[in-house]
Amino acid sequence: MKRRVLSLQGWRWGVKFFLAATFFILPWIKVSGESALRFDVPTLKLYFLGKTLYLEDFFLLLLLTLAFTFLFLLITLAFGRIWCGWCCPQTVLCDFTEKLQKRKVLFYSVIFLLSLWVSLTLIWYFISPYEFWEKLFRGEPPGRLTTAFFILIFVPTFFNFLYWRRTFCAKICPYARAQTVLFDDKTLLIALDPERKEECINCKACVRACPVKIDIREGSGIACIACAECLSACDRVFLKKEKPGLIRYLWGSKKGLTLKEFFRPAIWITTLLFFLSLGGTIFYSFKINPVEIHLGRDLGFSTPKEARENTIGAFWLSLENKNKSPQKIKISTVPFLKVVPEEIVLASEEKKKVRLLVFVPKDIKKFEIKIYLNQKKLVKSENFEVL
């Protein structure tokens, strides 16, 4: 029984520390020379775990956003407001500063510094923190857009954690309003065990422990963030009686569900939509080429008169390496013809425009140009007629 009291909140605090550390540390982590996660505003590039997504690849980001949206809906439908009580940044940061409220000077100072660091961290998801501090140490002030963005984040963040805090969760948060639509009679929630409600001794430990100040005995309501503080408080009271507490996690009005009851139509549909979006994301990610290629005729070129045996076809080949690593391009034709150049090497993120010459014998009227990436992957194939 004592283990249950300690382990539940222990796990919850462990999750909160992990998420807070991830949020603050992630902008500083580099993968392949760039931030692990950053949307670079000047270049409109998204850096994600060593991959670089350009503006034309943002369809992949849309699919990934849909996948996360359906996953979020699935978790809410099945497990209620587990996000609010265990993962939401509002809850995490409010919990970290909860016990400081009685010491006003310290509380205000911590809230100020925390809001400052949160605001800077959010900016570093758009501007490299290394570049930010390097310019600052050189005496270069942040640009107007960066300064405006910082103010727009810092001011509401500071007043939120100073004044609104749990009121935001209970009365403002749009997710709290949406839960009435997402919940059904089998969603996991925290409630008073209906079979043992007569055992309540009216100590009100659950009410005092509740961060949003609701009485769980009257029902969880829209304000409940499923933090399980009331559950742990009740457990501590009944620990003296060597009994489990009266408050527990319930599947709607039931203590347990069969697998058939859990996998209801809404769960199946949301799960299917999640896996379709995730599958589309994975499929499309393999379709993205690290080199952008454009091939077109050079209409200003004409075959020299001294080229008696061949017609020379001239093309402009525009290449852009969207990767941090060098890429090798190989060009060949069908039927096999002389091509100059046959290979092109692109440095990291290099752009290059090359005139491509194809020497075509007089008896050949059509040919196909094939472009390979790193001598293996066919990335472009186009047919041409001899002019």
Per-residue tens of pLDDT for the chain, all 387 residues: 454 555 777 888 888 899 899 999 999 998 877 888 898 887 778 888 877 777 777 788 888 889 999 998 898 888 888 888 888 888 888 888 888 888 889 989 999 999 999 999 999 999 889 988 988 888 888 888 888 999 999 999 999 888 888 888 877 888 777 776 788 788 888 888 888 888 899 999 999 999 888 898 888 777 888 888 899 899 888 888 888 888 888 887 666 666 677 888 888 999 999 999 999 888 887 777 788 888 888 887 777 765 667 777 888 888 888 877 788 889 888 888 888 888 888 888 788 888 888 888 878 888 888 888 877 788 888 888 877
Give residue 71's pLDDT. Answer: 92
Give dist(CA 16, CA 22) in Å, integer: 10
Collect all residues with Cβ–Cβ distance below 8 Å to 50 and sequence separation of at least 6: 31, 32, 34, 36, 324
H helices of the chain, where?
2-25, 58-79, 82-86, 89-97, 104-123, 129-137, 144-159, 166-167, 174-182, 205-209, 229-239, 259-262, 265-287
The one-letter amino acid at 230: C
Give residue 29's pLDDT. Answer: 92
- Which long-range CB contacts under 8 A does 49-57 form with residues at least 24 apart? 50/324, 51/285, 52/322, 52/323, 52/324, 53/288, 54/292, 54/322, 56/292, 57/288
Give residue 4's pLDDT. Answer: 53
Give residue 22's pLDDT. Answer: 92
- Which long-range CB contacts under 8 A does 255-261 form with residues at least 24 apart? 255/193, 257/186, 261/186
The one-letter amino acid at 239: L
The one-letter amino acid at 193: D
- Inter-residue contact 249 to 190 (CB < 8 Å): yes
Give residue 288's pLDDT. Answer: 77
CATH topology for 291-385 is Immunoglobulin-like (2.60.40)
Residue whose entry in the numeric block shows the structure tokens 């409630």 = 191
Give residue 152's pLDDT. Answer: 93
Which has the closest alpha carbon to 327: 346, 310, 311?
Answer: 346
* Whole-structure pTM value: 0.74
Which has the closest alpha carbon to 41: 164, 111, 145?
Answer: 145
- Inter-residue contact 233 to 200 (CB < 8 Å): no
The one-letter amino acid at 348: S
According to CATH, where is 2.60.40.10 located in the chain?
A: 291-385
Which has the closest alpha carbon to 314: 343, 339, 332, 292?
Answer: 339
